[in-house]
């Protein structure tokens, strides 16, 4: 019992000493111009790294993630189909697929899926 307590105390003391030494040894600067500037393979950047991105690309990426997660939800539904075929299961699957299709239809009608306008 004493060995466990001694080893826990030793490991805590050792980790605290290492953290204190690391904070004392490391030198930090509040603001460094080189660290704050964008890095492009050692060259000066040709354009601003803070340039805005296409919101259309972002929306399509979010739609991809949503449909990717829903595929992960649909796969177990298909695997359980041979064991469970009751009214509640059918109602749940139908509601899930209806919401999925209505969401896709809504995005399509709002023009999110059109890349060029």
Higher pLDDT, 85 or 6: 6
Tokens of 104: 């896709």
Long-range residue pairs from 65-73, CB within 8 A, at least 24 positions apart, any chain? 66/103, 70/100
CA distance 103 to 29: 49
pLDDT for 76 equals: 82
pLDDT tens for residues 36-66? 666 656 666 566 666 677 777 777 888 888 8
The total number of residues written for the chain in this structure: 117
Tokens of 41: 């393979």
- Who's near 59: CB < 8 A, 6+ residues apart? 112
pLDDT for 18 equals: 92
pLDDT > 80? residue 15: yes
Is this structure's pTM higher than 0.75?
A: no
């Amino acid at each position: 019992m004493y060995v466990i307590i001694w080893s826990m105390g030793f490991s805590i003391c050792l980790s605290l000493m290492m953290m204190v030494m690391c904070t004392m040894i490391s030198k930090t600067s509040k603001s460094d111009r080189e660290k704050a500037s964008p890095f492009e393979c050692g060259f000066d950047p040709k354009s601003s790294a803070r340039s805005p991105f296409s919101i259309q690309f972002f929306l399509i990426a979010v739609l991809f993630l949503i449909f990717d997660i829903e595929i992960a939800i649909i796969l177990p539904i298909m695997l359980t189909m041979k064991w469970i075929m009751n009214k509640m299961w059918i109602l749940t699957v139908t509601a899930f697929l209806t919401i999925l299709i209505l969401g896709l239809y809504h995005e399509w009608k709002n023009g999110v899926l059109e890349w060029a306008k």
